[in-house]
């Protein structure tokens, strides 16, 4: 038998890269079908108003225009975007219609879709459509939403769509007994996952076969097939969702949007393939936004720095509608406020508010980036008030290894009970400090060197992963002796072909080159749940392990017959099967026809990777510019499949965290108009912005919840960045009394804080 685990743990180069770097990738924009038409969307230019009518007569007269679809063409009742994750009846009144019907609620909401011979003709036709909207006052902030002077959904009677509660212990009693308390309000700005490749779809309806094919699926193709089937009145097996190469996802791509329904609907309606690829401006105003939250949170502690309790209230701006996963961030912001720390008493409430802005969804580390900023700032503020070293305070309060598994707060409604599964937070913190060179850098705290003030900080975090309920994999022994692996997991740029090939190779005991990984079609396996919540490796990889075991057991009697030996005498190696006497038969000789086995891995318990991140910044008080001089992170993922791809995930997540901390922000005016609707206004990190990023990944505590021992690792280091950078800026500007309570820490915002702090 081959030596186990010779592939798992190896830093193999990504097999995807050879294709992609040669320009041979196939993204949705590369897909074209015979006799194809093109779509363009008319989007509301008004944030809030009554939709009185849409006149498309002039647009329909334009040569090359085949149809203009409006709400009345979609039938009654109007199909709505359902809630995929944590569906609650209370949220159903806030679901988005596929096209605006009677009312518009945000700038960018689809009002009509034009289908024409070319995208240019379709876009020209948009200018010929007359839309009659009676404007209503726009709700653009928390105060207006709570005042309810204007209601987005009058029948609901409030702009509060949902309330979540996180409870653990008795927070009120802990506050009464505490030596120290402090209450502060923090805000995180609205920003989003701007993946490189905008969204798009090509849909084709086969009238004879009554089959719909949709290219451009990503992330959760099986779930989206279920939604599309229900909204179009089809059976699931009448639809094949097909993934291609994807230029990033990060939680936003792949969720079901109005366009996911409208392009297939148009293709079936017209009996011809229809293609749509959004432009960047469309993406900025129409794809899910994220993060915007205000947190009024109080911390209680003993005078020697033991945290006793957290309590408070969060208000999340969910925009105009609750989309498929729009409830995740507000509920996570309450449950994960305690992070990696041993806090026995928690009472937090999260409210979701509807406003006249683009709806929100998940973005890498949803509802974890935000509370980490709050908690890490509170820890530093508390340490300063008590005259303690913030590093010592963290050490004292981290969950120790002997308390694992460690319960987090319980969420209601949609009750969620979860526990940190395993780990040694203290070991990770110490390793991070050593990698960062803390003892040398901390000496620079608050010093002015060449006109810039220096600050360092460290923070600790957890990353939840392995969302269930299950994942499927199918492995086929082909007649040439190679193995084809088919997955329910989705590829969103994370290197799934390489990683799953390594897992399959070891599980089968064959060389990596003999394995071919296939994903991207709902026809490949019976069921799949896709790639989100850092689940692909744990769930899909574990399904591969089970499928490999099932396939080898299926091959055992075939091999025994070929070798003329008993079943228990068959031994598999990388070439095939052999018996105790050394007689062998190759895999390609075992069967004239392919042999396959499919397996499902089921899991109801999350995995939790964990780690620490330290940063060194320099702040120019004249301009407010924050330069990140060095960042080092450590993370324990239980078991690494590929250190090289994992390091890429870690560095990339830090860069995205720095973008959200220092640069990115969606800004709206009082009328609900998006002011940062181009990449000239919405700033993104570039390769030269943050050159010194280092990541160390360890395997200290394998997860007990899956056969690989792996933990999710796709989000990780983005989570602590906001809090760590804000604390480093506070340390740098301690002499000015600057205490950042809001993100982003852009030059204008930091400069403004300095001006307000200077007498």
Q: CATH code at 61?
A: 3.90.1170.50
Q: How far is CA 370 from the centre of its chain?
A: 14
- List Cβ neighbours of 151 (8 Å cut-off, separation of 6 or more): 157, 158, 159
Query: Both 475 and 615 in a single domain?
Result: no
Q: How many other C-beta atoms are found inside a 10 Å radius of the C-beta of residue 614? A: 27
User: Taking each helix axis from N to C terminus, what angle separates 390-397 and 425-436, rounded to the nearest 10 degrees?
Assistant: 150
Q: Which domain holds residue 550?
A: 468-602
Spatial distance between the Cα atoms of 95 and 176, rounded to a whole number of angstroms: 42
Is the pLDDT at 3 greater than 80? The verdict is no
The pLDDT of residue 71 is above 60: yes
Structure tokens, 426? 């203290």
Give residue-wise pLDDT tens across range 219-274.
999 999 999 999 999 999 999 999 999 999 999 999 999 999 999 999 999 999 99
Q: What angle do CA 648, 649, 652 make, to 5 degrees?
A: 80
Contact residues for 532 (Cβ-Cβ < 8 A; gap 6+): 219, 220, 251, 254, 325, 362, 467
**Residue 639 DSSP symbol:** S
Task: Compute the average pLDDT of residues 324-340.
Answer: 96
DSSP code of residue 402: G
The CA radius of gyration of the chain, in Å to the nearest whole number, is: 27
pLDDT score of 6: 87
Does 319 share its domain with 266? no
- Alpha helix (H) residue ranges in 341-484: 369-386, 390-397, 425-436, 438-441
Whether pLDDT at 511 is above 50: yes
Q: What are the residues whose beta carbons fall under 8 Å from the beta carbon of 93, sequence distance 6 or more?
A: 153, 155, 156, 161
The tokens of 390 are what? 């913030």
399 in any annotated domain: yes
Q: What does the angle CA 473 – CA 221 – CA 33 come to, to the nearest 5 degrees?
A: 115
For residues 69 and 101, state if they share a domain. yes
Domain end call among 602, 636, 654: 602
CA angle 109, 113, 116 (to 5 degrees): 150
Higher pLDDT, 148 or 416: 148
Residue 558 DSSP class: H
Q: What count of residues does the chain have?
A: 759
Residue 2 resides in a domain: no
Q: Give yes or no for a contact between 171 and 345, defined as CB atoms under 8 angstroms apart.
A: yes
User: What is the C-alpha separation between 645 and 514, in angstroms, rounded?
Assistant: 21
User: Is 528 in contact with 489 (CB distance < 8 Å)?
Assistant: yes
Percent of the chain predicted with pLDDT > 70: 99
Q: What is the CATH number of the domain that holds 574?
A: 3.30.365.10
* 462/473 same-domain check: no
Looking at residue 415, its pLDDT comes to: 81
Q: Of the candidates 131, 120, 97, which has an alpha carbon nearest to the alpha carbon of residue 39?
A: 120
Q: DSSP for 93-142?
A: GGPPBSS-BSEE-STT-EEEEEEESSHHHHHHHHTT-EEEEEE-PPP-SH
Provide the pLDDT confidence category of residue 5 given band limits of 50, 70 and 90.
low
pLDDT at position 493 = 87
Tell which of 586, 602, 618 closes a domain.
Answer: 602
Same structural domain for residues 265 and 323?
no
Residue 723 domain-assigned? yes
Eight-state DSSP code of residue 289? B
Tell me the pLDDT tens digit for each residue of 112-144: 999 999 999 999 999 999 999 999 999 999 999
Confirm whether 722 is domain-assigned. yes
Contact partners, residue 303, CB within 8 Å, separation at least 6: 179, 180, 386
Tokens of 269: 């309606």
Task: Kindly state whether residues 519 and 585 are assigned to the same domain.
Answer: yes
Least Cα distance to 363 among 219, 251, 198, 491 occurs for 251
Give tens-digit pLDDT for 617-673: 999 999 999 999 999 999 999 999 999 999 999 999 999 999 999 999 999 999 999
Q: What is the pLDDT of residue 520?
A: 78
Residues 610 and 702 placed together within one structural domain of the fold = yes
Q: How far apart are the C-alpha atoms of 333 and 350, rounded to whole Å? A: 7
Distance (Å, rounded) from C-alpha 113 to C-alpha 343? 52
Average pLDDT of the segment spanning 428-447: 97
List, in sequence order, the alpha helices (H) in 353-451.
369-386, 390-397, 425-436, 438-441
Residue 144 in domain? no
Tens digits of residue pLDDT in 172-227: 999 999 999 999 999 999 999 999 999 999 999 999 999 999 999 999 999 999 99
Nearest to 7 by CA among 680, 531, 541: 541
For the cut 70, the answer to whether the pLDDT of residue 4 exceeds it is no
State the pTM of this model: 0.96
Whether 710 and 748 share a structural domain: yes
For residues 684-706, average pLDDT? 93
The residue with tokens 């060449």 is: 450
Number of H helices, E strands in the chain: 18, 30
Determine the Cα–Cα distance for residues 125 and 61; give it in Å rounded to an integer.
9
Of 466, 480, 457, nearest to 614 (Cα)? 457
CB 503 within 8 A of CB 10: no
- What ranges make up the beta strands (E) of 466-531? 470-477, 483-487, 515-518
Task: Please say whether the beta carbons of 436 and 187 come within 8 A.
Answer: no
Does the pLDDT value for residue 474 go beyond 70? yes
Q: Both 485 and 438 in a single domain?
A: no
CA distance 101 to 109: 10
The pLDDT of residue 431 is: 97
What is d(CA 153, CA 80) in angstroms, rounded to the nearest whole number? Answer: 15
Nearest Cα neighbor of 379 from 394, 395, 369 is 394
- Is 609:460 a contact under the CB 8 Å cutoff? no
Q: With bands split at pLDDT 50, 70 and 90, how would you rate the model's confidence at 107?
A: very high
**Beta strand 607-619 with 452-465: parallel, antiparallel or unpaired?**
antiparallel
C-alpha 682/C-alpha 662 separation (Å) is 12
Tally of CA atoms within 13 A in the half-sphere of 71 that contains its CB: 22
Please check whether residue 155 lies inside any domain of the structure.
no
Give 80's strand partners: 97
185 belongs to a structural domain: no
User: Where among 602, 637, 670 does a domain terminate?
Assistant: 602
Mean pLDDT, all residues of the chain: 96
Of 715 and 171, the structure prediction assigns the larger pLDDT to 171
> How far, in Å, CA of 363 to CA of 657, rounded?
11
Q: What are phi and psi of 584, to 5 degrees?
A: -130, 155
- Helix (H) / strand (E) element for 544: namely helix 541-563
What is the structure's pLDDT at 2? Answer: 40
Return phi, psi of residue 241, to 5°.
Answer: -90, 125
Which residues does 37 contact at the CB level (< 8 Å), separation at least 6? Answer: 66, 115, 116, 117, 266, 270, 272, 273, 274, 275
| 583 and 614 both lie in a single domain | no
Q: How many domains in the chain?
A: 3
Q: Is 18 contained in some domain?
A: no
Residues 6+ apart with CB under 8 A from 142: 294, 315, 317, 353
Q: Are residues 77 and 226 in the same domain?
A: yes
Interval 685-704 mean pLDDT: 93
Are 582 and 627 members of one domain? no
What mean pLDDT do residues 491-506 have? 94
Q: Which of 622, 690, 693 is nearest to 659 (CA)?
A: 690
């Amino acid at each position: 038998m081959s030596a186990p685990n010779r592939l798992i743990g190896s830093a193999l180069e990504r097999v995807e890269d050879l294709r992609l770097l040669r320009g041979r990738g196939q993204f949705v924009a590369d897909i074209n079908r015979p006799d194809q038409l093109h779509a363009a969307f008319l989007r509301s230019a008004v944030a809030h108003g009554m939709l009185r009518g849409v006149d498309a007569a002039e647009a329909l007269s334009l040569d090359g225009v085949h149809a203009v679809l409006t709400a009345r063409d979609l039938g009654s009742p109007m199909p709505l975007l359902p809630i995929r994750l944590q569906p609650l009846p209370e949220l159903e009144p806030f679901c988005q219609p596929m096209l605006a019907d009677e009312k518009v609620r945000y700038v960018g909401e689809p009002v009509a879709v034009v289908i024409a011979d070319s995208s240019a003709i379709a876009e020209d036709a948009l200018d010929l459509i007359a839309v009659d909207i009676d404007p209503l006052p726009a709700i653009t902030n928390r105060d207006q939403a709570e005042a309810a002077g204007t209601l987005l959904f009058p029948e609901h009677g409030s702009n509060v769509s949902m309330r979540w509660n996180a409870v653990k212990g008795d927070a009120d009693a802990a506050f009464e007994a505490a030596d120290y308390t402090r209450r502060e309000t923090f805000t995180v700005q609205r920003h989003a996952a701007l993946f490189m490749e905008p969204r798009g779809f090509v849909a084709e309806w086969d009238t004879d076969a009554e089959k719909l094919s949709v290219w451009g699926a990503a992330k959760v193709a099986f779930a989206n097939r279920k939604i599309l089937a229900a909204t179009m009145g089809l059976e699931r097996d009448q639809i094949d969702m097909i993934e291609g190469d994807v230029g990033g996802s990060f939680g936003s791509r792949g969720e079901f949007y109005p366009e996911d329904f409208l392009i297939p609907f148009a293709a079936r309606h017209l009996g011809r393939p229809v293609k749509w690829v959004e432009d960047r401006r469309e993406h900025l105003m129409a794809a899910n936004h994220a993060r915007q939250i205000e947190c009024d949170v109080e911390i209680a502690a003993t005078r020697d720095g033991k945290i006793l309790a957290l309590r408070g209230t969060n208000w999340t701006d969910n925009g105009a509608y609750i989309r498929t996963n729009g409830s995740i961030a507000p509920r996570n912001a309450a449950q994960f406020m305690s992070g990696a720390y041993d806090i026995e008493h928690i009472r937090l409430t999260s409210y979701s508010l509807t406003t006249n802005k683009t709806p929100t969804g998940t973005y890498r580390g949803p509802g974890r980036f935000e509370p980490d900023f709050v908690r890490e700032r509170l820890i530093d503020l508390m340490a300063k008030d008590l005259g303690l070293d913030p590093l010592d305070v963290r050490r004292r309060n981290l969950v120790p290894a002997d308390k694992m598994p460690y319960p987090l707060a319980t969420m209601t409604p949609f009750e969620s009970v979860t526990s940190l599964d395993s780990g040694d937070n203290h070991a990770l913190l110490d390793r991070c400090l050593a990698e960062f060179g803390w003892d040398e850098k901390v000496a620079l705290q608050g010093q002015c060197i060449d006109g810039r003030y220096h600050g360092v900080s460290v923070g600790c975090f957890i990353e939840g992963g392995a969302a269930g309920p299950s994942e499927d994999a199918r492995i086929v022994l082909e007649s040439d002796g190679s193995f084809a692996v088919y997955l329910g997991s989705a590829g969103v740029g994370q290197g799934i072909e390489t990683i799953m090939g390594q897992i399959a190779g070891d599980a089968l005991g064959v060389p990596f080159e003999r394995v071919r990984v296939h994903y991207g079609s709902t026809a490949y396996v019976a069921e799949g749940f896709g790639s989100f919540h850092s689940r692909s490796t744990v769930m899909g990889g574990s399904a591969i392990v089970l499928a490999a075991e099932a396939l080898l057991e299926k091959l055992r009697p075939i091999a025994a017959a070929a070798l003329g030996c008993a079943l228990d005498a068959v031994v598999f190696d990388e070439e095939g099967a052999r018996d105790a006497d050394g007689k062998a038969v190759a895999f390609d000789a075992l069967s004239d026809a392919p042999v396959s086995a499919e397996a499902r891995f089921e899991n109801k318990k999350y995995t939790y990777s964990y780690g620490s991140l330290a940063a060194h910044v320099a702040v120019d008080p004249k301009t407010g510019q924050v330069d990140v001089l060095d960042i080092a992170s450590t993370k324990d993922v239980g078991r690494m499949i590929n250190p090289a791809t994992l390091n890429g995930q870690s560095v990339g997540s830090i860069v995205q965290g720095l973008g959200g901390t220092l640069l990115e922000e969606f800004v709206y005016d009082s009328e609900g108009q998006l002011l940062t609707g181009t990449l000239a206004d919405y700033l993104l990190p570039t390769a030269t912005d943050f050159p010194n990023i280092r990541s160390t990944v360890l395997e200290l505590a394998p997860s007990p919840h899956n056969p690989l021992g792996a933990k999710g690792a796709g989000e990780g280091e983005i989570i602590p960045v906001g809090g760590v950078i804000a604390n480093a800026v506070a340390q740098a500007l301690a002499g000015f009394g600057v205490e950042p309570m809001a993100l982003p820490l852009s030059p204008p915002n930091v400069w403004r804080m300095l001006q307000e702090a200077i007498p």
